[in-house]
Amino acid sequence: MLLMLIMESLYVKNHMDWLNLFTGMHYGARHLKKRWSKFIPAETFEFVEKLSKLSLDSVDGACTNKRALDLGCNVGGVTFNLAAKFDEVIGFDYCKGFIEFCEELKENGKAKIYAGEEGDLKKEMLAEIPDSIDRSRCSFQLGDVQALPSDIGTFGCVVISNVIGRLENPIKVLRNLPNLLDDYGICVIASPHDPLEDFTPKENWIGGFLDKDGQTVTASQTIKEILSDKMELIQTEEIPFALQYQARDFEILISEVQVWLKSPKKS
């Protein structure tokens, strides 16, 4: 709990920097591709679009639940995209600044965003939600994904993207995922599997170490072990993404994406 408060305050304290970093990632693809795709593959700037499409394409027609949940929604790129197919989408995050940005975007359909350019200089861009998306289907909730409200209900789709490796207790969240889904609902888990002690105490890591018998433990395998009891793994994919700190300063990561189906056979 103490670690969570420290991490939460870290996100909150530096939230303008984080906000600029993530709004660029979620809404800056058009600008970034135009300027840098000669050097960085264009798809690296389209993580949010690709993950959203993969999620929407994976939805099973047999699932009647038209609610979706984006855990650790951040600045809401995936949340808004899910509204293309879901009647109700909840974006859930513990950083007030991110939730406020999502609310602003929901209200106005657009918002100014600022990418790091050089030192104190920022480049102004516009985040826009296409008119084809019914923003009123989206709502945003502040809270800890490790302690979801008891009345949050069940969903046809749960996305948890680049969050598992940033939690104090990832196993608790993974174990709860099947409970959030109705039969034939899907869960999309993306992670670059880059554990950091700043976020997750080492005793809670789900991968990235040797066990007591000297066997390799990976997050990819641990997620499969936890979920395969109640769900079926229907697809895996690798999707890259770029975080731009300054105009010419990028961090490139690659998330493994696992798509799971809540199969009634396994319930």
Ligand X SMILES: C[S@@+](CC[C@H](N)C(=O)[O-])C[C@H]1O[C@@H](n2cnc3c(N)ncnc32)[C@H](O)[C@@H]1O
Within residues 32-71, the interface with ligand X by CB under 6 A covers: none
> Applying CB under 6 A, which part among 107-115, 130-138, 155-163, 180-188 lies near ligand X?
155-163
> For ligand X, which is the closer residue by CB, 165 or 185?
165
Beta bridge partners of 250: 244
Q: DSSP state, 177?
A: G
Q: Least distance to ligand X from the beta carbon of 169, Å?
A: 9
> For ligand X, which is the closer residue by CB, 141 or 263?
141
Hey, how many other C-beta atoms are within 10 angstroms of the C-beta on 109? 15
162 near ligand X (CB under 6 A): yes
Member of 46, 88, 93, 183 binding ligand X (CB under 6 A): 93
141 near ligand X (CB under 6 A): no
Token couple for 162: 């680049």
Within residues 184-223, the interface with ligand X by CB under 6 A covers: none
> Applying CB under 6 A, which part among 133-141, 157-165, 177-185, 204-212 lies near ligand X?
157-165
**CA quadruple 61, 262, 180, 164: dihedral, nearest 10:** -110
Determine the size of the site formed for ligand X (CB under 6 A). 17
**Which one-letter amino acid corresponds to residue 58?**
S
Q: DSSP state, 169?
A: -
Member of 20, 23, 52, 74 binding ligand X (CB under 6 A): 74
Hey, how many other C-beta atoms are within 10 angstroms of the C-beta on 142? 12
Query: How many whole angstroms separate alpha carbon 77 and alpha carbon 73?
Result: 8
Residue nearest to ligand X (CB): 72
113 near ligand X (CB under 6 A): no
144 near ligand X (CB under 6 A): yes
> For ligand X, which is the closer residue by CB, 144 or 232?
144
Member of 163, 206, 219, 242 binding ligand X (CB under 6 A): 163
> Applying CB under 6 A, which part among 28-36, 127-135, 143-151, 206-214 lies near ligand X?
143-151
The whole-angstrom distance between residue 191's C-alpha and the CA centroid of its chain comes to 9
Phi, psi of 147 (to 5 degrees): -145, 70
Member of 115, 125, 145, 231 binding ligand X (CB under 6 A): 145
21 near ligand X (CB under 6 A): no
The whole-angstrom distance between residue 95's C-alpha and the CA centroid of its chain comes to 13
Query: How many whole angstroms separate alpha carbon 13 and alpha carbon 208?
Result: 29
3-state secondary structure of 108: helix
Member of 102, 138, 167, 189 binding ligand X (CB under 6 A): 167
Do the bridges between strand 121-128 and strand 110-118 make them parallel or antiparallel, or are there none, so unpaired? antiparallel
Instruction: Decide: 20 and 48 in contact? Cβ < 8 Å.
Output: no
User: What are the residues binding ligand X (CB under 6 A)?
Assistant: 4, 11, 25, 72, 74, 93-95, 98, 144-146, 161-163, 166-167
